[in-house]
Structures are given as structure tokens and as C-alpha cells.
Amino acid sequence: MGFHSRKFGALLGFLTFSSLLWSGFCSRAHVPRNVLHSRATAEDETLPAYKDSSLCINDRVEDLLGRMTLEEKAGQMFHAMLYVGPNGTLDQGDDTRNSTDFVMGTQLLTHFNLVGDITDAKETATFYNRIQQRAAETRLGIPVTLSSDPRHHFTENIGTGFDAGRFSQWPETLGLAALRDASLVKKFAEIAREEYLAVGIRAALHPQVDLSTEPRWARISGTFGEDATLTAELLTAYIQGFQGDKLGPYSVTTVTKHFPGGGPMENGEDSHFVYGKNETYPGNNLQYHLIPFKAAIAAGARQMMPYYSRPIGTEFEPVGFSFNKEIVTDLLRDELGFEGIVVTDWGLITDTTIRGQYMPARAWGVENLSELDRAARILDAGCDQFGGETRPELIVQLVNEGVIDEARLDVSVRRLLREKFVLGLFDNPYVDAAAAARVVGNDYFVRLGSEAQRRAYTLLTNGNDTLPLRSVGADTKFYIEGFNATFLENRNLTVVSKPEDADYALLRLAAPYEPRPGGFESSFHAGSLEFSAEERERQDAIYKAVPTIVDMMLDRPAAVPEVAEGAVAMLASFGSSSEAFLDVVFGVYEPEGKLPYDLPRSDAAAEAGMEDVPFDTRDPVFKFGHGLRYKDRCADGTEGNGLVAQGVRR
């Protein structure tokens, strides 16, 4: 039978790339199953059925599953961090982690999230190809699926996200929410997809669709804000942008998180940490937090991640969501009808060290279980994959001891393999490293991201229509904080060192938070939403000395009525460069944002609000949707153009 010659296989591989096969063309209709099997046996040496791209995905999955050892199945069920070694080599490991070669070759993992900045797309793409080459050398040659936390948002706070590095830089999702523009969100996601694809990232560990109903929570900046309906609308565009209309070889699959909504954190603490285990529902409002997840499922979300937290004061057992069968199986799968992959949040089984800080396993409510029993609970709850862990030996032991049926593993491994096939990874996992350098961070992508940073600015106050500053020149003196004087000097503007000597003060301020100790914990901006008395006094002196324009990076809804009162104008931003800030100040761009949440009046007001209830902060300083516009400068009704303002050119 010449039908399955190597050449024909290769030709089909090429056709797959042209995505012809994904429109439904495959040979299932023509080749009965039993024939497939006999041929696979006969041609084992040349082309096993699972590698034959002319066959239907379900048949390829079953063929592969049938060949896998218990150890190979267990390896699929782990999704671990992947470090890049020197010069893009495979990481050799250290005291805290095994080498990549060991994790791939011995522990047989094929799902990894890339950690560390991407500073050179070509290098990253080359590294990615090297990883796939290593995967090809394993017994079955199962390709790697590479995932990533968000990398496209301008942020100075790494920890739960990454510096944008060489990718185009956009505001945080909060900024996209401020623009209320689903088509922009889709464009963002399509561009992020192209940049991911170029370096081999095929799974997005996002969107984060938690609702910011508790303003003190440290992870609000990665959400779409407080409103379930707006979040649902935007996440739909987001998922469609990354995945496309239908998941295929040009898609990035998405992991929607954190089921069933990580927003209602007790006292606003976070469940990465022992003191923040509890998700709480004093307003009996869990249903509100499910709205985004229902929208995600309707939009074709492929994967879900439950949060670390345990539900307190509900009908559900108070154990972490991934250990919780009532949450994962009864609610997510049976009630909401989710059929995709459930991957746990990182590190539920094994104690570890993150950036020098000891972190116990986030086994909330089941702390006393052994590592083995934790793994069994997670499987029993209905999860498919263990995030941030490399413990396949536990799964092997559970099956060997008869605690877990191998058939239970098959249910999850089938889902996981299927995703790889649909993404086209079995047909061609490699990327073109030279092309990556052209795609990633190209001028067009960068410009759209830069524009979004500027447009997402949200104008909270504008006394006497001070903004934009149009009549400024070399003799106008600025007192500045929070950014580099070079940015003004490059615009031929003068910077002075004392507020009293200035015509205007420009302050870029971080929203208030309480610094926490620890290498990892310190990146979480938690606690009080108010500035200290000393800091208020310090700022007040500036406000009294000179008309002051404040730009506050609202990674959380700050409680700063005194800034709104004291500054002549106040802007909110959601991840933006200093150049973006100045372009808005000088009217090159107009701020178009609207607040994606209420701004509470005080810590007391935040505390009085219920964690799970939106828009219940009493007497907010500004409400959801607040956002002023610049006064139209042109009396004849035509639009102004800030570019011509005196002294301000780009």
C-alpha cells in the first residue's frame, strides 16, 4: 500500500499547515476504524496512526493513548515551570529544581509555562525549537505545549505577571476595561496571539475574569474590574481573539481563571498565602461571580483554572477549589456544562520556595493530607492537570496501589492530548526563529499597544480645565515625581527641584498599599488603600505650593479623596509608560477611559462593604463609569489636535 508512504505523510503535514484539514477534511469517513488499526500495526515502524495527520483527531488520540505507559500518562498530567538556560540552552537545574532534560526525558512532562522575560524573540523561538527537539527524542515524541502568564501589559510590578519585554505593551486588562471596547480587546488578543505564536507559546494562562468586588485584593489589576456584564462582554472578545473562531494550528488556547471567581477574598487578602485562604460570600452572591465563567464557556473557553481559595460560609465543603468535587465536577462540569481541561493553580501538593520565600503547598482545608492523598483528592474532584508541580510518581503510585483507576487518568489524558492535536503540535511543533524576530514587537503592534496605553487614561478631576497643558514652553517650570526628568527635557521643557519654583507639578504615584515582606509576597500590593498620614502631609505641601497634576496607577481602587481634592487635576492609569502620561498631559492624546470599579472613600468603607457584592461601597469618591473628557478647544466644533500645542512635538 503506497497510500501511506512517507512522502504522502509529509505532504499531508504541509496541508495541515495550510489549515485545510481543520475545516473538517479527514479520512475518517473513508477508512473504517478496524482498517486504521491494522494499518497502524503494519506500519508501526514508519508512521504510527497518531502521527498520521490524515486521520481524525479522535482516532489519533485513541491510538496514542493505547501506546502509552502509566508513566507516560502521568507525565501528561503535570504542567511545570520552564526555565531557559544560558544562551537559550536547556536549563541544567539547581538545588531547587531538576534539569529540563530530566523533567522531559525521565518524568516525561510535556506541558510547561515559560518563566522569565523575553528580551529577544529569536532567542526564545530558538530555545522553543530546542525544547521540541528534545521532546521528539522521547519514546513517543509527544510535543511540548508551552504556556505563559500575561506578558503584554505595561507593568512595573512583576510577580503575578511579567514585563512585556519585547512584546507590544498594552495597558493592563483594567485599562482595556476602562475603554469599554470589545473590538479593541479582540484586536489586542489577536496581536498577543501572533506574538505568542511566533515564539511557540500556545497556551495563555489567562484571561483572569475574577470580579473586583473586594477592593483590597492584590490581584485586581489583571481583571476587567467590578462589573460582571462588562467582564463577560470583554472576555468573550478576548477568548475569540486568542483562540480564533475555532481552535486550530494558528490558535492560542486560553485558560480562564480563577473558577468560581477569586474576587471575594476575605478581608481582601490573597490565597497564595496562609492568612488568605478564605473566599467568602457574606452577600450570598456567588452567582454574580459565575456570570463571567458562563460567558467564557459560551465563548468556547478550552481550559479553566480554579483558584487556591476555599469557600467559607456556603453550602460547599470548605476546601480549596481544586480539591473540591462540588465545585469542579458538580458545578463547573455538570451544572455549567464545561467539557474542557481543568488545570489547578500552581503548587497545591508540594511545599516550595518562590523567589527565596518558603511557600507551603496551597492545600487549603486539606493541609493535613499527605502529598499522595492531596493528589488523589484533586483527581477525585475532577481536575485534569496539576499546575506548577513535577510529581508524576505520585500518580503512578496511586494507580499501582489501586486508589485511582487508570481509566480515570485516561479521561484527563485524552483531553490533554486532544488539545495538542487540535493545536497542530503533532504535525509541526516548530517555529521560524527568523520570522519571530520580525513579528514580535513590530511597529504596528507596538503602536496599537502604545495608543491603548494613552487612550485608557481616565480623567477623574480637571479643575479649571487645566488639562491638557497647551500653553507651555521652555520657560514653563515643572516639579516632577515618579518619572525621569529626561522625558520632559527631551520635549525642551524645564524641570526644577522644588515645588515652590515650579509652574506645575507632575506626580506619577503608585496607588497606596502596605508593603509585605518576602521575596514573593512583596510583589502583592495588599492591605490599606489609604496613604499614611505622613505621605498625605507630604503631598499636601506640594498641592498647596503649585498646581499639581497627579497620575495614579490604579492597580487597586485607591481610597484617596484627599488627592482628588488637593490636586488640580487627577488622572487614573492602568499600566502606561511615562511618554504615554506626558502625551495625555499635553493633549497629544485625550484620556478616554471610564473607571472599571468604584473608588472607595476609606479603608473603613472598604471594610464595611461585602467581599462578594459589587458597587456596595458607601459614598464612593468616584463611581464605576466616571471619566471626564477634555474640553473641546475649537469653538467651531471641529476637533482639536494636541500635536500642534506649543512646545509639544513628538
Ligand X SMILES: *[C@@H]1O[C@H](CO)[C@@H](O)[C@H](O)[C@H]1NC(C)=O
Nearest to ligand X of 480, 559 (CB atom): 480
Which of 484, 532, 641, 646: binder of ligand X (CB under 6 A)? 484
Nearest to ligand X of 53, 126 (CB atom): 126
Q: Write out the binding residues for ligand X, residues 558-577 only, by CB under 6 A.
A: 568
Is the Cα torsion angle 46, 51, 57, 63 positive or negative in sign?
A: positive
Q: Write out the binding residues for ligand X, residues 284-343 only, by CB under 6 A.
A: 312
The residue among 197, 104, 252 whose CA lies nearest residue 433 is 197
Q: Rule CB under 6 A: say whether 463 interacts with ligand X.
A: yes
Which of 100, 173, 223, 278: binder of ligand X (CB under 6 A)? 278
- Stretch of residues binding ligand X (CB under 6 A), selected from 109-117, 485-493, 574-582, 632-640: 485-493
Q: Write out the binding residues for ligand X, residues 395-454 only, by CB under 6 A.
A: none
Given the residues 345, 427, 555, 583, select the one marked as catalytic.
Answer: 345
Nearest to ligand X of 309, 450 (CB atom): 309
Closest-CB residue for ligand X? 463
- Considering the complex, what minimum distance in angstroms separates the CB of residue 484 from ligand X? 4
Nearest to ligand X of 226, 551 (CB atom): 551
Which DSSP symbol is given to 379?
H
Nearest to ligand X of 329, 397 (CB atom): 397
Element housing 606 (H / E): helix 603-608
- Considering the complex, what minimum distance in angstroms separates the CB of residue 463 from ligand X? 3
CA angle 202, 349, 411 (to 5 degrees): 55
Q: How far apart are CA 144 and CA 127, in angstroms?
A: 12
- Considering the complex, what minimum distance in angstroms separates the CB of residue 443 from ligand X? 20
CB neighbours of residue 245 within 10 Å: 8
- Stretch of residues binding ligand X (CB under 6 A), selected from 114-122, 225-233, 275-283, 327-335: 275-283
The residue among 523, 423, 547 whose CA lies nearest residue 57 is 423
Q: Rule CB under 6 A: say whether 497 interacts with ligand X.
A: no
- Considering the complex, what minimum distance in angstroms separates the CB of residue 372 from ligand X? 13
Nearest to ligand X of 367, 603 (CB atom): 367
- Considering the complex, what minimum distance in angstroms separates the CB of residue 252 from ligand X? 29
Q: Rule CB under 6 A: say whether 98 interacts with ligand X.
A: yes
94 is catalytic: no
- Considering the complex, what minimum distance in angstroms separates the CB of residue 452 from ligand X? 24
Q: Which residues are 599's β-sheet partners?
A: 622
Q: How far apart are CA 115 and CA 358, in angstroms?
A: 19
> How far, rounded to the nearest angstrom, does the alpha carbon of residue 60 sit from its chain's CA centroid?
31
- Stretch of residues binding ligand X (CB under 6 A), selected from 92-100, 194-202, 288-296, 537-545: 92-100
From residue 591, give the alpha-carbon distance in Å to each of 460, 468, 571. 10, 10, 8
Nearest to ligand X of 207, 566 (CB atom): 566
Nearest to ligand X of 98, 138 (CB atom): 98
- Stretch of residues binding ligand X (CB under 6 A), selected from 198-206, 273-281, 570-578, 586-594: 273-281
Q: How far apart are CA 445 and CA 191, in angstroms?
A: 7
Q: Rule CB under 6 A: say whether 464 interacts with ligand X.
A: yes
Nearest to ligand X of 396, 599 (CB atom): 396
Which of 34, 87, 183, 471: binder of ligand X (CB under 6 A)? 87
- Stretch of residues binding ligand X (CB under 6 A), selected from 5-13, 47-55, 96-104, 154-162: 96-104
Element housing 553 (H / E): strand 548-553
Nearest to ligand X of 293, 346 (CB atom): 346
The residue among 146, 145, 80 whose CA lies nearest residue 118 is 146
Which of 156, 393, 432, 501: binder of ligand X (CB under 6 A)? 393
Q: How far apart are CA 415 and CA 429, in angstroms?
A: 19
End-to-end CA distance of the chain: 67
Nearest to ligand X of 18, 87 (CB atom): 87
> How far, rounded to the nearest angstrom, does the alpha carbon of residue 183 sit from its chain's CA centroid?
19
The residue among 52, 112, 57, 73 whose CA lies nearest residue 412 is 73
Question: What stretches of 188-262 adopt beta strand conformation (E)?
Answer: 201-204, 253-259
- Considering the complex, what minimum distance in angstroms separates the CB of residue 453 from ligand X? 19
**Please, what's the largest Cα pairwise distance for the chain?**
89
- Considering the complex, what minimum distance in angstroms separates the CB of residue 322 from ligand X? 16
From residue 356, give the alpha-carbon distance in Å to each of 97, 276, 371, 517, 518. 13, 20, 22, 11, 8
Do the Cβ atoms of 129 and 200 come closer than 8 Å? yes
Phi, psi (deg, nearest 5) at residue 533: -60, -40
Which of 153, 277, 325, 525: binder of ligand X (CB under 6 A)? 277
- Considering the complex, what minimum distance in angstroms separates the CB of residue 285 from ligand X? 18
Question: What stretches of 282-391 adopt beta strand conformation (E)?
Answer: 303-306, 310-312, 341-342, 352-354, 357-359, 386-387
- Considering the complex, what minimum distance in angstroms separates the CB of residue 293 from ligand X? 23
Residues 6+ apart with CB under 8 A from 308: 258, 271, 272, 277, 320, 321, 322, 345, 348, 362, 364
Which of 133, 287, 492, 646: binder of ligand X (CB under 6 A)? 492
Q: Rule CB under 6 A: say whether 638 interacts with ligand X.
A: no
- Stretch of residues binding ligand X (CB under 6 A), selected from 19-27, 45-53, 93-101, 300-308: 93-101
Q: How far apart are CA 56 and CA 166, in angstroms?
A: 38
- Stretch of residues binding ligand X (CB under 6 A), selected from 22-30, 95-103, 402-410, 423-431: 95-103
Instruction: Determine the size of the site formed for ligand X (CB under 6 A).
Output: 20
- Stretch of residues binding ligand X (CB under 6 A), selected from 91-99, 295-303, 334-342, 452-460: 91-99
Q: How far apart are CA 602 and CA 505, in angstroms?
A: 25
The residue among 114, 374, 92 whose CA lies nearest residue 252 is 114
- Considering the complex, what minimum distance in angstroms separates the CB of residue 547 from ligand X? 6
Catalytic positions, please? 345
Binding footprint of ligand X on the chain (CB under 6 A): 86-87, 96-98, 275, 277-278, 312, 367-368, 393, 463-464, 484, 486, 491-492, 568, 649
